[in-house]
Amino acid sequence: MQTANSNAPAIRILLVEDNPGDVRLTQEAFRDAKVHLEMHVAVDGVEAMEFLFQEGKYAKAPRPDLILLDLNLPRKDGREVLKEIKEHPNLKAIPVVILTTSASDLDIEGSYLLHANCYISKPVDLEGFLTVVRSIDDFWLSVVRLPAGERHGPQVNSNSAG
Amino acid sequence: MGPKSIRILLVEDNAGDVRLTQEAFKDAKVHLDLYIASDGVEAMDFLHRRGPHAESPRPDLILLDLNLPRKDGREVLMEIKTDPWLKTIPVVVLTTSGSEEDIERSYELYANCYISKPVDMEGFLSVVRNIDDFWLSAVKLPREKQR
Residue-wise pLDDT for A47-62, tens only, equals: 999 999 999 999 999 9
The answer, for A143 touching chain B at a CB cutoff of 8 Å, is yes
Cross-chain residue pair B134–A108, CB shorter than 8 Å:
no
Residues 6+ apart with CB under 8 A from A73: A16, A18, A44, A45, A48, A81
pLDDT digits (tens, 9 = 90+) for B131-146: 999 999 899 999 865 4
Phi, psi for residue A147 in degrees, rounded to 5: -65, 145
Handedness of CA B147, B45, B37, B112 (dihedral sign): negative
Nearest to B108 by CA among A148, A105, A40, A47: A148
Query: Which of A5-14, A143-152, B69-78 holds the top average pLDDT?
Result: B69-78
Share of chain A above pLDDT 90, in %: 76
Position A160 scores a pLDDT of 40
What global pTM score does this model have?
0.91
C-alpha separations of A155 from A32, A95, A151 in Å: 22, 20, 8
Residues 6+ apart with CB under 8 A from A134: A29, A32
Position B29 scores a pLDDT of 78
For residue A94, the SS3 value is coil
Nearest to A107 by CA among A121, A96, A95: A121
Q: What's the rounded mean pLDDT across residues A22-44?
A: 91
Position A34 scores a pLDDT of 77
**pLDDT value at A155 more than 50:** no
Cross-chain residue pair B115–A144, CB shorter than 8 Å:
yes
Cross-chain residue pair B107–A92, CB shorter than 8 Å:
yes
Position B30 scores a pLDDT of 84
The answer, for A30 touching chain B at a CB cutoff of 8 Å, is no
Distance in angstroms (rounded) separating the CA atoms of residues B114 and B135? 13
Share of chain B above pLDDT 90, in %: 84
Position A9 scores a pLDDT of 79
Residues 6+ apart with CB under 8 A from A152: none
| Angle separating helix axes B73-82 and B100-108, nearest 10 degrees | 20
The answer, for B116 touching chain A at a CB cutoff of 8 Å, is yes
Nearest to B71 by CA among B42, B34, B33: B42
